Structure 1
Amino acid sequence: MTDVLESIRRVFSVSIHKEGYPFILIGLVATVLLAWLWWPLGWVGAILTVWVCYFFRDPERVTPIRDGLVVSPADGRVSLITTAVPPVEMDLPQEPMTRVSVFMNVFDCHVNRSPVQGRIAQILYTPGLFLNAELDKASEDNERNALVIDAGEAKIGVVQIAGLVARRIVPFVKTGDALDAGQRFGLIRFGSRVDVYLPLGSQVLVGLGQTSVAGETVLADLRVNEPSRQYRIG
């Protein structure tokens, strides 16, 4: 029982992003109305409201700082590591780059953070479909918001991709803004994916299926020209 209470305390001690306030208010109003209609329904509304609070949590993160490090822009599971040409709308060479994809389910924190320190050279929103964000073709077909970050030694592409449930990509920044590694740059509501495009030859430091933490997990190193690490499940 003590462990359960401590878990609840940790959840509610984390700040909630302001983007979540309207949804929390809707949940509270719905809870009152449902309880008025039939009190057991009020518990359903209360549980959903608590989940909305949990979804919009915005915890502090400790970001490793070193030139060349690329940290994860999102909480979630590393769903794909491949070589791909970046979306045509991005101001990046139309040639293969290393792409690392992080899939966020509806229980992950959805505040996205900059993978590197640099200046935003481009932001471009592209309307599209709402396919399952885990599908490879979601990179080209789904609604997305693409950022190109000039990190000095390289340009890094970051693409927020809407999914089956996600219906809104919310940017916090604009073209020309300077970002620190781990700085918040946007949010995607309710389940989605973030792709990171890196120069070929970057050393990828995560494995498929690994859980990443936005602003903390190091995805890759731009300055190490060594084979990627191998992983096993055990």
Structure 2
Amino acid sequence: MDLAPGAWRLATPVFLLAVPATLLFAPLGPLLVLLGAFVLWFHRDPHRPVGDGIVAPAEGTVSVVREEDGRLRVGVFMSPFSVHVNRAPLAGTVREVEHVPGAYKPAFSKDSDRNERVRVVCEEYETVLIAGWFARRIHPYVEAGDDLDRGQRIGHISFGSRADVLMPPGVTREDLVVDVGTRVRAGESLTGPLT
């Protein structure tokens, strides 16, 4: 099983704590081993085929489809059971990677628009990785000047949240093949092929 970078760094202390915990209170050891295994499972990074058009930046449920300053925003909410490795929705060159401090509201709520986020800005579009109430760590893998392929891994969010795409100008709701409530995998098509 492939894992997101840093997964073992988070899981190892939990596994190490299981040894003394077992000696002090036997039932606690196996629980810590299970917790460590959950941390590794949470940070899994499976292969995903890449679709046509603009693809989903995350695995989960489409929770946002709205017009914003003349452009379309599509957001994917990641539940605790989703894969949390995020992908580039289109090819492009990264112009900016910006960390924006903010709150930690539940990622499925409207208030999450004010949460901590990392903006990955490319020429024609923007991907926004948004922390949730439990997620406190966004790990971008890219920096300004990087050339991205559609579906390329661009980061992960430890323990939660949402990934949004601010679509290129000219993309409309009619171009979408998903709607609010649609379950998607990272790399799956959000739109039909672009002309």
TM-score range, shorter chain: over 0.9
Shift of 1:222: 6.8
Which residue does 1:145 correspond to in 2? 118
2:49 aligned residue (39, 43, 62):
62
Supply the distance in 1 between the matched residues of 2:42 and 2:71 (Cα, whole angstroms): 32
Which residue does 2:64 correspond to in 1? 80
Which residue does 1:11 correspond to in 2? none
Supply the distance in 2 between the matched residues of 1:24 and 1:108 (Cα, whole angstroms): 18
Structure 1 segments of 4 or more deviating over 2 A?
199-202, 221-224
Aligned length: 192
Shift of 1:75: 0.9
SS of residue paired to 2:64:
strand
More displaced 10-residue stretch of structure 1: 40-49 or 156-165: 40-49
- Higher alpha-carbon Rg: 1
Structure 1 position 187 matched with structure 2 position 156: yes
Structure 1 position 40 matched with structure 2 position 27: yes
Stretches of structure 1 that go unaligned for 5 or more consecutive residues are 1-13, 85-94, 225-234
Identity %: 35
Structure 1 position 100 matched with structure 2 position 74: yes
Calculate the TM-score normalised by the size of structure 2. 0.92
Query: For residues 201 and 109 of structure 1, do their structure 2 counterparts lie closer, same or farther at Cα, with a shift above 3 Å needed?
Result: closer
Calculate the TM-score normalised by the size of structure 1. 0.78
Structure 1 position 30 matched with structure 2 position 17: yes
Which residue does 1:174 correspond to in 2? 143
Stretches of structure 2 that go unaligned for 5 or more consecutive residues are none
Report 1 or 2 for greater relative contact order, CA contacts < 8 Å, sequence distance ≥ 6: 2
The Cα RMSD (Å) is 1.5
Shift of 1:223: 3.0
Query: For residues 183 and 78 of structure 1, do their structure 2 counterparts lie closer, same or farther at Cα, with a shift above 3 Å needed?
Result: same
Supply the distance in 2 between the matched residues of 1:222 and 1:210 (Cα, whole angstroms): 19
Supply the distance in 1 between the matched residues of 2:14 and 2:133 (Cα, whole angstroms): 21
Supply the distance in 2 between the matched residues of 1:201 and 1:50 (Cα, whole angstroms): 41
